[in-house]
Structure 1
Amino acid sequence: MAEPSPSGSGDAPRPSAPAPDGMLRIRGGVGGLSFQFEELLAGAAALDGAVSQLYALEAEADSVRRSLFGYQPDAYRSGSNAIIAVGEAGRDIGRVRAELENIAAQVRASHREYEFTEARNALLLRMGLSGPEYGSAEGAFQLPGLRDQVEQRVALVPHGLALLLGVPLPLAEALKASGAVAGGPGDLRRTIRELTAMPGLGFLKPRPVSVIRSESGTAEVDLSAAGLLRQAEAVGRTSGDIEVIQTDVGDSRAWVVVLPGTQLDGLPAGTNPFDTAGIAEALGYDSRETGLAIRQALRDAGAAAGEQVAAVGYSQGGIHAMNLSSDEAFLAEFDLKFVLTAGSPVGGITPGPGISSLHLEHQHDWVPGSDGTPNPDTRDRVTVTLTNDLVLPPGQDFGLGPGHRLENYVEGAEAISGSRDPSLQASAAALAAVVGSGGTASVTRFSLRREASPAGPATATGPEPRVRHPDASRGARRLRG
């Protein structure tokens, strides 16, 4: 990406890619290319307005010049000088108008050029190619990280579904061969719905989710992005739990909903809303039942209609959190202002207007790419890809891979807090404007349960979730977000 033109150089303004920021690769927000493109078009539109005004002034100057012709015989010398002066002023206005028209044309040409270049670069990246224009030091073509490879190869849906939903790989392959399972990012939602209609896969269908109990108290809460992800880690230690935090911002209240990642043990099979069937509900059914339970939990915690809410989720929890941003019923009741996700495939979810979001992904975490759709680059939506090296601590379960560990995302969120990138600073300010900076807050822990399947907890083809004692090691659970 070319460097931006310096102020006062006379060249048309050019958008510029964000500068490298340590292990953070940042896309979207006020420093993102799309917003800079919007600014280019807005600048061109402003120049058009100035050109229109100058056209009017030019015409008015010519009208004044012509009106002076009738007075020229009365005082020929002074009259002639006046006519000449007004005429020169009109020509000066015309020269400025023509220059502004030329600048506006250059701005639009820059927009078209960079829009084409970005589309070309995106196509090459989706083909698995990168070069010096993408920051390669050697200039040789390279393969992208694991996350991008999964996104690019989402046509291999059976493998992804086998990993995400617990569908046995032979069955997923057979469904793919029969044409029942479609490939491609636009088909994932339909594919999941078709899968849940297949014999033996009824355990993936959404069923009602209820709030069965709650426990309230006060605690010191860190409401930064890193602090909220640590809160999600704590919530995830108990199967089926979510958390609602009440915080005071000035004279008003705000609420934070904290959602865990996928949980495969600790409850009778099929009753935990955050098991593999929860992934199917989130990706295929817009969190229909879980979203209703979240709304009920907010009401039970004391949230009133119209109050501001922020939603935080890790992995599966991030999909549920982001689905709230497009849930018309939820948005009609509560004023959702911010969504924070980590390791979540949410590229296909379009939030309502005025909702800011921050998405953390790791280049070696395949889960965020499993929907086959990159997160859009918009003013209110910032995606941070972490590029640091990964090491799996000894003795910990591999789970979904070291890139998906929540500790990695907490570390990334801490790096974000010290970044001077304009997109990240604006995102942090948007989060703080909703929830404040932290301190003593009212915290309510809710336990959610899904209605048991009529066919019983075990299915012919679905996996038998492993039951683990509630005091099992945290490490094995964290890797299963």
Structure 2
Amino acid sequence: MTATPDLTPIPFPPGHGPGGIAVRGGVGSIRFQWSELGHGADLLGALADELREILHQCGELQWRLQMLLKSFEAAADGAGHAAVDALDGARSALSRCDAELRDSAHRIDYCRLAYEAAEAMAQVAAAAAHAGAGLIEHDLRRLIGTANAGHFAEPVPLSLDRVPAGTTATVDGTAAGMLQRIGSLDAEGPGVFEVLKVQRPDGPVFVVVLPGTQGTTAAATDNPFDPTGIVEAVHYDSTFVADAVHRALAESGASHGDRVMMVGYSQGGMHAANIARHPQVAEDYSMELVLTAGSPTGREASGDGTYLHLEHADDWVHQVDGTANPDERNRVTVTLAEPADEVPASEKGLGPAHKLSTYLAGAETADASVHPSLVATLGVLGSTVGGRASAQRHVFRVRRVPRRDQTAPPDQRVQE
């Protein structure tokens, strides 16, 4: 068997729309295509085994027929000999098919192994490049430990209260439509998130929308979405935020097995990725989709459901974890390349590329793309939520339960 380099991944354009987009992961990714080739090689091998069994049965049948013909007169053998010849021809055809199937399976496997070897070398190089990042993270953990000793960054349980708000909202089952909901939270004040209940013919869908970082103080406030909330997301798996979301889903009418979607921007996206894998949430609900924008989620393992991450090439925030999102079938990362619009110096915050408006424009580009990974991922969103639909709106405010020895400074809004 000679391997030939005629097995190459199917090329797809990097993206469509203004400025273009780069897409990693999903059904259109190279990694997925190669995994499918490996699966195909296994199927071809199994089919070749079945053909070989049929080949043996044909040989046994041919031998039995030849033995039977010996007991008949030569003049009466015409039909029998024709049957023997037909079986012999069938065996030859089956033998050729067996050889071709096995050769194809070996060639596919050879190419897959060559790819995996190259990927392993690339991972070794990447690990060496990120060796310094591990030292930085070690020092960061020590710093956080010191801060926790003074109760500056250590997360605490949260109270959950309903906020009087409009009881209905219109939900658009697109990436841009989901991110628009984050903007609607700004008017509700700090520490607020919403749960949208969309009634579908096959049962309700609950969409949890989480805001970005709120406030500028380095000390913990009563708002779990202040800058110290990032510590809970990174080092505590969003333990208390996840518990609050779990309680909010129950208060919003969610029952065991109901479908849930998580939508988060910046810090909210970090919480969203953690909540999707939270044991209570994963056990009680069916996680359909996690949508994040401008969030460092590369270190978060994938849970059930589909993931869509929006990242801007000029946004440094999603890069602070030093790790790219996994390239997996159910996890798609869209890198936006369109230059971000400039904003006044007083509104720069964490930079123009990190603005929610920048990600809204990028989400519209992703919605318009025909890249197979995005078509499949956004198809989950569209089929689950539907087009423009009316939703029951449940709004909640979470607060950290104050410590006796800690006075929380007032919260301030930050422009991300």
Partner of 1:204: 153
1:174-213 to structure 2, matched below 5 A, reads 182=138, 192=141, 195-198=144-147, 201-213=150-162
**Are the counterparts in 2 of residues 209 and 448 from structure 1 also a CA contact under 8 Å?**
yes
CA distance in 2, matches of 1:85, 1:223: 60
1:223 paired with 2:169, answer no
SS at match of 1:202: coil
Letter in 1 for 2:368: G
1:460-475 to structure 2, matched below 5 A, reads 467=412
Distance 1:232 1:118, change over 3 A: same
1:438 paired with 2:388, answer yes
Deviations 1:277-335 (A, max 9, x none): 21000110011011111111222222223211111000110011111111111112222
RMSD, aligned CA = 2.8
Distance 1:332 1:382, change over 3 A: same
1:274 paired with 2:230, answer no
1:80-229 to structure 2, matched below 5 A, reads 80-121=81-122, 154-155=133-134, 157=136, 182=138, 192=141, 195-198=144-147, 201-216=150-165, 217-229=167-179
1:53 paired with 2:50, answer yes
1:255 paired with 2:206, answer yes
Partner of 2:325: 375
Partner of 1:21: 15
Structure 1 unmatched ranges of 5 or more? 1-9, 129-150, 158-180, 184-190, 459-463, 469-476
Distance 1:244 1:455, change over 3 A: same
Partner of 2:358: 408
Letter in 2 for 1:207: V
CA distance in 1, matches of 2:142, 2:401: 19
Letter in 1 for 2:256: A
Deviations 1:418-476 (A, max 9, x none): 11111101111111232222232221221111122444246xxxxx78746xxxxxxxx
Q: TM-score, normalised by structure 2?
A: 0.88
CA distance in 2, matches of 1:433, 1:202: 45
CA distance in 1, matches of 2:233, 2:274: 7
Distance 1:75 1:44, change over 3 A: farther
Deviation at 1:61, TM superposition (A): 1.5
CA distance in 1, matches of 2:12, 2:299: 24
Aligned length in residues = 404
SS at match of 1:108: helix
1:418-433 to structure 2, matched below 5 A, reads 418-433=368-383
CA distance in 2, matches of 1:110, 1:265: 52
Partner of 1:284: 235
CA distance in 2, matches of 1:450, 1:227: 30
**Are the counterparts in 1 of residues 310 and 335 from structure 2 also a CA contact under 8 Å?**
yes
Distance 1:194 1:394, change over 3 A: closer
The one of the two structures with greater contact order (alpha-carbon pairs below 8 A, sep at least 6) is 2
CA distance in 2, matches of 1:50, 1:240: 58
SS at match of 2:347: coil
1:40 paired with 2:40, answer no
SS at match of 2:28: coil
CA distance in 1, matches of 2:124, 2:319: 16
Partner of 1:390: 340
Deviation at 1:373, TM superposition (A): 2.1
1:65 paired with 2:44, answer no
**Are the counterparts in 2 of residues 247 and 436 from structure 1 also a CA contact under 8 Å?**
no
CA distance in 1, matches of 2:132, 2:383: 39
Partner of 1:473: none
Partner of 1:139: none
Letter in 1 for 2:133: V
CA distance in 2, matches of 1:253, 1:414: 26
Structure 2 unmatched ranges of 5 or more? none
CA distance in 2, matches of 1:107, 1:80: 41
Deviations 1:357-402 (A, max 9, x none): 1001111112212222211111111111111223422344332222
Q: TM-score, normalised by structure 1?
A: 0.77
Q: Percent identity?
A: 35
SS at match of 1:286: coil
Partner of 1:143: none
